[in-house]
Amino acid sequence: MSQRVVIAEDLYLLRDGLVHLLQAHGFEVAAAVESGPELLRALMDERPDVAVVDVRLPPTFTDEGLQAALAARRAVPGLPVLVLSQHVEQLYARELLADGSGAIGYLLKDRVFNAEQFIDAVRRVAAGGTAMDPEVIAKLLASTARHEPLGALTPREREVLELMAEGRSNAAISQRLFLSESAVGKHTASIFGKLDLAPSDDDNRRVLAVLTYLNAARSQP
């Protein structure tokens, strides 16, 4: 069964391009809207498997997309949302992640370089994971550098955590950092320990690790 997606983008050419791209990769586009109020209605009526949302939508072009997504997630906890933005909006990312339920992503429009990268992010978010642009992660990590328990992480553990937040597997992290998979596994276990994330059959500790530092960032100025 194809996954259902709601798209919110005010620029017609980009919105139409997203519709065709997602349809070409097997998604069913339940709605494609251009304003905040339309987005909220579509999310509540359609209950999609994932939403692809621009932050700034009509009528005021401030944060209508985000506010609609937040309102929908309050009504439907864990509703998967992938945000597309032209800038790193720290406050927006923190608000989106504040409920700790996962299934979120934040990509910068000018850093989406190919269809495979974008489709992979949409699928990861729809599956309950995270898909964060490295630039967004770096900025949020910098704002939490002195916040415990994140301050207990070593520089290498912070690198591993950043790549985890992008949704990378241990194998992908090992290739990026030129480490063995066993070394990455040890760093990951150390991160879980320092963040006090006990083993669980129900919780995805990789997602919880990402949410821990992003939720910590929420309280920073």
Annotate 64-91 with DSSP letters as a single string: HHHHHHHHHHHHSTT--EEEEESS--HH
Which of 14, 8, 49, 54 minimizes the C-alpha distance to 31? 8
Classify residue 142 by burial, with Cβ atoms within 10 Å: 0-12, 13-18, 19+: exposed
- CATH number corresponding to 155-219: 1.10.10.10
Whether this model's pTM surpasses 0.75 = no
Q: What is the pLDDT of residues 53-65, one digit of tens each?
A: 998 899 888 888 8
CATH topology for 3-145 is Rossmann fold (3.40.50)
- Mean pLDDT of the region 174-185: 90
DSSP label at residue 56? S
Q: In the chain, where are the structural domains located? A: 3-145, 155-219
pLDDT in tens, 2-21: 899 999 999 999 999 999 99
